[in-house]
Amino acid sequence: MNTKDMLAELAELFTSFSLHPLFIQELSFLLKKDLKGKEARFFKILSTQLNNIKTFGRSIYTVDSNEILHGADGHYYSIHLQQSQFNVRLLIYIADNDTPYFLCAFNERSGKRKTDYSAYTSVMQERLNHFGGNL
């Protein structure tokens, strides 16, 4: 699957979600660099997780290895897209009405250290403000 096909498929997968522009740039960078040659497996996991988000809403942390981010306001989640060749994290905010807002995407290279998202707290809040403050 080439990059153009991937991006078209991604656009279709994400049509019912709100995406911060920098999230899109980060995901595009990952696809072009870290996930090159691994697209098929990544898309399978991504599709599953997007369906899980639609199904479970704010209870998404109860499936797979997704987690609620501690130290935030209880609405921020880390969605794990993990396989032996990659360890992508999607940081999202899910409003009380179960509407998800995709804020950050990155490949966590060190799977052995305890994940600390405190460095992302201000970034996530800033990006969430892009959608209109009172969510």
Do 33 and 114 contact (CB within 8 A), yes or no?
no
pLDDT score for 2 = 64
What is the domain partition of the chain in residue ranges? 17-130
Write out pLDDT tens, residues 25-74.
999 899 889 998 898 899 889 989 999 999 999 999 999 999 999 877 88
pLDDT range class, residue 110, cuts 50, 70, 90: low
Q: What would the mean pLDDT of 2-15 be, rounded to a whole number?
A: 74
Comparing C-alpha atoms, which of 5, 83, 90 is closest to residue 42? 83
- Check residue 3 and give its pLDDT: 63
Structure-block tokens of residue 41 = 């497996």
With a cut of 90, say whether residue 21 has pLDDT above it: yes
The pLDDT score that the predictor gives to residue 135 is 64
Has this prediction a pTM greater than 0.75?
Answer: yes
Would you place residue 5 in the very low, low, confident or very high pLDDT band (cuts 50, 70, 90)?
confident
Buried b / exposed e along 24-37 (16+ C-beta atoms within 10 A)? bebbeebbeebbee
